[in-house]
Amino acid sequence: NSDLVFSINQHVAEKYGEFNPNTMVVQNSTNFPNFHREHYAKIPWLEQIQSRGGPILGCTGIINRVRIDYDLLERTVTSRPKWQFVFVGSADRSFLDIVARHTNLHHHRQVPYEELPDWIQYFNAAIIPFRLNEHTRGNDLLKFHDYLAMGKSIVTTNTGGAWKFGDLIHVAEDGPGFVEAIERAIQPVDEELRQQRIEMARSNSWDQRAAEIWQVLEEHLQHREGKRQC
């Protein structure tokens, strides 16, 4: 019965578009000014991890077996014992059991969203080791936009929405490819590429997205009003 339905990605739009032809894709965004700023607070917990040496590979958000490929993660953690893997967010028991087995895998409970940039600043690269299933095919992750706003290198599996960022991120198709992609991502950052990532995030700020939504609403209302007058 809805006049208009908004969906966060094409997969979801196609799934539910058969029930309502007025289904539009409006992707997620980022609070750009909060993530792209000059000053960030120090996090003592991460300062300590940083002092161990080796790159920090980080991921933020909900951590559970539906989303995270635990087998891929554990193989990656085991294969690179000098890398430090940091996960920030609420986690299930299975993940905490994995953390207990590895000294280079670290977990911190969820922190307020507005404070995430202070944590992400420590990441040499952001990782998104997601499973590929119906749930993740319907993704359009906020974290993509958040990480890009800070110019971060991103390594991800081919989860929903990853394709649209092209060469700005590293998409891995399998386990060995995931490790190889991290190896590339932690190399010295090309400043031009970093700026391209930031500009991509700027174009996907919530201000930009709100303007897109308003335009869609106006066009739909004008179309509906025109049909009534016919």
**Model confidence at 228: pLDDT above 80:** no
Of the candidates 188, 152, 173, 155, the one whose C-alpha atom is nearest the C-alpha of residue 80 is 155
Of the candidates 65, 108, 117, the one whose C-alpha atom is nearest the C-alpha of residue 90 is 108
Asked if 144 and 154 count as a contact pair (C-beta separation under 8 A), the reply is: yes
Residues 183 and 225 in one domain: no
pLDDT at residue 142, rounded to an integer: 87
Report how many domains make up the chain. Answer: 2
Residues 112 and 24 in one domain: no
Residues 41 and 148 in one domain: yes
Residues 168 and 211 in one domain: no
| Residues facing residue 229 across a β-bridge | none
pLDDT at residue 175, rounded to an integer: 85
Residues 93 and 193 in one domain: yes
CA 158, CA 176: separation in Å to the nearest integer?
14
105-134 per-position pLDDT tens digit: 999 999 999 999 999 999 999 999 999 887
- What mean pLDDT is reported for the chain? 90
Over range 182-198, report the average pLDDT.
Answer: 96
Over range 18-29, report the average pLDDT.
Answer: 76
Residues 53 and 81 in one domain: yes
Residues 174 and 193 in one domain: yes
Residues 138 and 117 in one domain: yes
Q: Which residues contact 169 (CB under 8 A, 6 or more apart)?
A: 144, 148, 153, 154, 155, 156, 162
Q: pTM to 2 decimals?
A: 0.85
**Model confidence at 8: pLDDT above 80:** no
64-119 per-position pLDDT tens digit: 999 999 999 999 999 999 999 999 999 999 999 999 999 999 999 999 999 999 99
Asked if 77 and 138 count as a contact pair (C-beta separation under 8 A), the reply is: no
Residues 187 and 216 in one domain: no
143-160 per-position pLDDT tens digit: 999 999 999 999 999 987
Residues 154 and 218 in one domain: no
pLDDT at residue 172, rounded to an integer: 95
Over range 170-189, report the average pLDDT.
Answer: 94
Residues 151 and 219 in one domain: no
Residues 125 and 82 in one domain: yes
Q: Which CATH number characterizes residue 119's domain?
A: 3.40.50.2000
For the sheet with 154-157, list strands across it: 105-108, 84-88, 56-60, 125-128, 154-157, 170-172
Q: What residues make up the domain containing 98?
A: 32-202
Of the candidates 36, 41, 10, the one whose C-alpha atom is nearest the C-alpha of residue 25 is 10
Q: In a 10 Å sphere around its CB, with 0-12 CB exposed, 13-18 middle and 19+ buried, how is residue 125 labelled? A: buried
State which of 4-8, 16-20, 70-74, 214-218 shows the largest mean pLDDT: 70-74
Asked if 97 and 66 count as a contact pair (C-beta separation under 8 A), the reply is: no
**Model confidence at 230: pLDDT above 70:** no
